[in-house]
Amino acid sequence: MENKRNYFIAIALSVLIVLAWQFFYMNPKIEAQRQEQARIAEQAKTAPAGSESPAEKPSAGVQVSGALPASGQAGATATREEAIAKTARVAIDTPALSGSINLTGARFDDLKLKEYRETVDPQSPIITLFSPADTKDGYFAELGYIAGEGAGTAPGPSTVWTLAEGDKLTQATPVTLSFTNEAGLTFTRKISVDKHYMLTVEDAIKNGSATAASVAPYGRITRYNKPTTPSVYVLHEGFLGVIGANGSLIEEKYGNVEKEGVTNDKATGGWIGITDKYWAAALVPPQSIAYDSRFSHFSDGQPRYQADFKNDAVTVAPGQETSLKTLVFAGAKEVRVVNGYALDDSWFGTLFSSLRGGDSADVQSYQVPRFDLLIDWGWFWFFTKPMFQLMDFFFRLVGNFGVAILLTTIVVKLLFFPLASKQYASMANMKRMQPKMEELKAKFGDDRMGLQQATMELYKTEKINPVAGCWPVLLQIPVFFALYKVIYVTIEMRHAPFFGWIRDLSAPDPTTFVNLFGLLPFDAPTFLHLGIWPIIMGITMFLQMRMNPTPPDPTQAMLFNWMPLVFTFMLGSFPAGLVIYWAWNNTLSILQQSIIMKRHGVKIELFNNLKSLFRRKPQPTK
């Protein structure tokens, strides 16, 4: 019984934290977020048009020498369609992206992700990533220059570029823009794009004057609104970057930057950006020139968040030309794509590149330092990354992520089979010792010290390790968290169907017993949401626990009886993929335990325990 108690406590303590966090923190937060979105949408219907844009001022405590020019935004004064129609543009059309480049400022401010939709409905709108500055959801990337000595007017947010070559940006056809200022400097910008989400901006600066000129390149990503999804502990959303070619990842949440902006150390190499749960925008500055960078929040005029950099000035001699290359990532955080863009020559990266095989051959490598950290794998990346790669491997074999989860569970069970065998063998031995344990209890009565010593001696004689049953549970805790992380953060799980009513493994089971699993025409409150798969999971957990006798201790017995029901309700709001994993894992555990117990000659208590639930208890004699 001591072994059983440790087993239950290990399960309860390890998992209850996550469940309670989801049930008591995440669910109310999601509900509050929905109400806030509804309130904002209602206000937007009656809000007056914004005023003219104020000059851009850095947040308190954030300074970058040589201030960036004002971004020129005008506030939320137009619809997206109206804002796009105001300026001359160059169309973008690739397998993954659609939209246009604004010739005013050469901005990337109109970008949609063709392969992703807002909901599981195939007719729902595709995801909009970038929008122009004078819309309420303004979000854009901009590259420009700050004029130095002898440079004249440098191209910035209000500069109107001329389309010099090409009429549409596609994977096969780059476009070239040009701008010549009054001082004789000609800026030529060639923009190309791969089949995924990386834009390459190659600038050539030619000095046609008789004097040297210096300019400082800058880049910024600006957005007006925070993500609509609620912020959670297991996922970072906000500012991030790797500052320097050998730098470590820097992450800053929106709330922290609102209080005080962040200035990063001067560095050479690396990247900066803003990330959502599934989407991101990032800038990779010229990697051979040192730069300053910052994460800022501006409250003047239209409130906005901004990640920007400014390179040290470059000097162009008379009659000479210099060139610079900047990368702009704007798109979905697909694992194979992001990994392909990264510079990863470690054994780990090489191993999983080989596992992916030719699948990543269509991803052009840009050798961006540690760009794979754009995806939040967490502190336990050495569990989460392999877990995803294994699931992705099975997905490419069977074409269904739900089935891939089932197959991954089998692999995990096989890996832990030796430990599980020891666990169940220990439990079987403990059961065989129950008659002797009862004799010891009768012999020592209230002498707890004597009982403990005699019990330990019995364990030693019979070669039983009473804590052996806890180690497999403790070692599988990281697997549970890794799977939770993978299902929650990877875009590959977004809108991934299983079978039947499960159309999105990253979302909770959409059915609920309150409306008779969809037969009644209303939605259940969040705290009462309990679908078919959580109920299946609860049943498998109940059966697994009934494989063993109910503990004689009243506290343990209460935990034994109520744990499946409590976990069932708490898991009702968890991603369906995780619930399916748990139900399948329980089922495999029942089969495994039955085989091992039978091998050790121990009676399987499941059917007797189930019968005892419906057996009438004898009435006490008077």
Q: pLDDT tens-digit profile of 543-587?
A: 887 776 665 556 666 777 778 888 888 888 888 998 999 899 889
Split at pLDDT 50, 70, 90, the class of 522 is: low
Residue that wins the pLDDT comparison between 35 and 132: 132
Spacing of C-alpha 253 from chain mean position = 14
Q: HSE-up of 170 (CA within 13 Å, CB side)?
A: 7
Mean of pLDDT values over 396-413? 92
Contact assessment for residue 272 and residue 243, using Cβ atoms and an 8 Å cutoff: yes
For residue 148, which phi and psi values (nearest 5 degrees)? -115, -155
What's the whole-number average pLDDT of the chain? 81
For 16-69, the pLDDT digits (tens) are: 555 555 555 455 554 554 454 444 444 433 333 332 333 344 443 334 445 677
For 438-487, the pLDDT digits (tens) are: 777 787 777 778 777 887 877 777 666 655 555 555 666 777 788 888 88
Compute the Cα dihedral for 352, 355, 359, 362 and give only its sign: positive
CA 331/CA 280 separation, integer angstroms:
6
Q: Which residues contact 456 (CB under 8 A, 6 or more apart)?
A: none
Q: Where are the domains of the chain?
A: 80-226+234-374, 401-613
Split at pLDDT 50, 70, 90, the class of 344 is: low
Other CB atoms closer than 10 Å to residue 105's CB: what's the count? 24
pLDDT score recorded for residue 518: 66
Least trusted range by pLDDT, from 331-340, 469-478, 509-518: 469-478
Instruction: Tell which residue, 128, 269, 81, 114, has the closest CA to residue 195.
Output: 114
- What 3-state DSSP class applies to 288? coil
Q: Percentage of residues in the chain with pLDDT exceeding 90?
A: 48
Residue that wins the pLDDT comparison between 50 and 256: 256
CA 183/CA 109 separation, integer angstroms:
29
Least trusted range by pLDDT, from 173-182, 308-317, 526-535, 556-565: 556-565
Backbone dihedral region of 175: left (phi > 0), alpha (psi from -120 to 50 degrees) or beta?
Answer: beta
Provide the token pair at 499: 């079978």
Other CB atoms closer than 10 Å to residue 456's CB: what's the count? 12
Enter the pTM of the model. Answer: 0.80
Split at pLDDT 50, 70, 90, the class of 154 is: very high
- Report whether pLDDT(520) > 80: no
80-226+234-374 adopts what CATH topology? Beta-galactosidase; Chain A, domain 5 (2.70.98)
Mean of pLDDT values over 416-437? 72
CA 357/CA 389 separation, integer angstroms:
12
Contact assessment for residue 245 and residue 287, using Cβ atoms and an 8 Å cutoff: yes
Rounded alpha-carbon distances, angstroms, from residue 462 to 426, 430, 469: 11, 10, 16
Contact assessment for residue 142 and residue 229, using Cβ atoms and an 8 Å cutoff: no
For 92-101, the pLDDT digits (tens) are: 999 999 999 9
Find the angle CA(428)-CA(429)-CA(431) to the nearest 5 degrees.
65
Mean of pLDDT values over 188-203? 97
Residue that wins the pLDDT comparison between 405 and 597: 405
